[in-house]
């Protein structure tokens, strides 16, 4: 039996990069809630005592971005442990989206007097050029790779035990990393679990490590049918302590955790981030529909694993290319599967938005712990469409 190791990582909602993603997506949600046609491209930077929000927005709505940012920071739990939702400074620098972009993307039906009477979603152009990937496999009930699923669940559980005070003295920042051993391409055991958990300075480190193993690692592995065996390596706070964290310790930026957001490196990534973008940007909507397609292919029994690539040009509705790879597991040829998905999915950005209902507040909830395979959320791109 051929043995191989694969590793994925995740971060908690209190990691500075994930804080930035959540703030950017909370702004997207707030704007879409008031004006579903809002065009949004918002970036957030967080550093010691400062939050800066910048980008391009075209909308008929007004939202208090500083208030939204402070609310997200408070929800995460930064109330004085190196960063504070009330006293940290929040600055905004927002301008209107370029009219050159709008020229190619926007598509409206107008009356004789020139008034917009209906948006023409069928001809809505892609908000940018780019390529994006979707992936699915049978390693977990979520049809996701096991390493990234476990990494996310560990970080979710780490946040849960902090907020519920099951483990006392934890702070919001944290990370996980999981190495899975594969035998002949199938997960066989957990080789390594790595946890970094920010904590108060007076915490007793040996006690905290035992609690994290007992209340975080063991129950998460058990949830997926795995356990710590005699060879499993457990590492918790390998530097010895982790008191200084969050934006006090590291600057956070929107879009710096794109592998965490997707498949943990197990599948390819087109390079475009999701957070801070309205769904006319195909970095977001194209990646969502690619996941929807890949998951539907696997769930429909057409393949055991599937990766899909889409490519778009700014201002053009139809994708430039569709690529399918089933890694030899397909019940049909890749060419046949491409034809099947073309018949089952309308890949024009406007129709993706319409079919998945993407112009609504969906995004902050998946800005931490992954956009795919979220059994805890009712995400439209995770619903299976049967393909014959």
Q: What is the DSSP string of 324-354?
A: EE-TT--SS-HHHHHHHHHHH---SHHHHHH
Mean pLDDT, residues 10-19 taken together? 98
Mean pLDDT, residues 279-292 taken together? 96
Ordered strands of the 321-325 beta sheet: 130-137, 305-312, 321-325
Mean pLDDT, residues 211-230 taken together? 98
For residue 321, name the pLDDT band (cuts at 50, 70, 90): very high
Closest residue by Cα to residue 284 from 292, 93, 20: 292
Mean pLDDT, residues 131-155 taken together? 98
Ordered strands of the 170-183 beta sheet: 3-11, 170-183, 186-199, 233-236
Residue 126 has a pLDDT of: 83
Mean pLDDT, residues 157-165 taken together? 98
> Which stretches of 59-88 are assigned E, i.e. beta strand?
none
Classify residue 64 by its DSSP letter.
-
For residue 310, pLDDT over 80 is answered with yes
Chain mean pLDDT for the chain? 93
> What are the pLDDT digits (tens) for 238-262?
999 999 999 999 999 999 999 999 9
Residue 105 has a pLDDT of: 61
Mean pLDDT, residues 70-93 taken together? 90
Q: Which residue has the higher pLDDT, 84 or 290?
A: 290
> What are the pLDDT digits (tens) for 37-73?
999 999 999 999 999 999 999 999 999 999 999 999 9
Task: Give percent of the chain with pLDDT exceeding 70.
Answer: 94
pTM: predicted TM-score of the whole model, two decimal places: 0.94
The rounded distance, in Å, linking the Cα atoms of 106 and 97 is 12
For residue 116, name the pLDDT band (cuts at 50, 70, 90): very low
């Amino acid at each position: 039996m051929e043995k191989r190791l694969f590793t994925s990582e995740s971060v908690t909602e209190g990691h500075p990069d994930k804080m930035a993603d959540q703030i950017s997506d909370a702004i997207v949600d707030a704007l879409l809630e008031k004006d579903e046609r809002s065009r949004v491209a918002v970036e957030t930077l967080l550093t010691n005592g400062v939050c800066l929000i910048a980008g391009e927005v075209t909308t008929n709505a007004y939202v208090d971005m500083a208030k939204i940012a402070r609310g997200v920071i408070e929800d995460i739990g930064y109330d004085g442990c190196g960063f504070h939702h009330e006293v940290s400074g929040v600055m905004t620098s927002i301008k209107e989206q370029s009219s050159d972009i709008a020229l190619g993307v926007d598509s409206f039906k107008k009356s004789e007097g020139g008034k917009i009477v209906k948006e023409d979603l069928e001809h809505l152009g892609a908000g940018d050029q780019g390529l994006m990937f979707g992936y699915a496999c049978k390693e977990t009930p979520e049809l996701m790779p096991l390493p990234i699923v476990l990494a996310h669940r560990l970080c979710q559980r780490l946040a849960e035990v902090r907020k519920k005070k099951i483990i006392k003295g934890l702070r919001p920042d944290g990370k996980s990393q999981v190495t899975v051993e594969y035998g002949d391409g199938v997960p066989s055991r957990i080789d390594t679990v790595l946890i970094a958990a920010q904590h108060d300075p007076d915490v007793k480190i040996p006690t905290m490590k035992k609690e994290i193993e007992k209340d975080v690692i063991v129950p998460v592995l058990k949830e997926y049918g795995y356990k710590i065996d005699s060879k499993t390596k457990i590492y918790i706070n390998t530097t010895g302590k982790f008191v200084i964290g969050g934006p006090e310790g590291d600057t956070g930026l929107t879009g710096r955790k794109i592998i965490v957001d997707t498949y943990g490196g197990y599948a390819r990534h087109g390079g475009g981030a999701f957070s801070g973008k309205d769904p006319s940007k195909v970095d977001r909507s194209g990646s969502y529909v690619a996941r929807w397609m890949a998951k539907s292919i696997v769930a429909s029994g057409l393949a055991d694993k599937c990766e899909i690539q889409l490519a778009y040009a700014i201002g053009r509705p139809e994708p430039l290319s569709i690529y399918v790879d089933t890694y030899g597991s397909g019940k049909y040829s890749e060419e046949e599967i491409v034809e099947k998905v073309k018949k089952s999915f309308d890949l024009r950005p406007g129709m993706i938005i319409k079919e998945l209902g993407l112009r609504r507040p969906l995004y902050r909830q998946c800005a931490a712990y992954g956009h795919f395979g979220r059994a805890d959320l009712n995400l439209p791109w995770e619903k299976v469409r049967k393909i014959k």
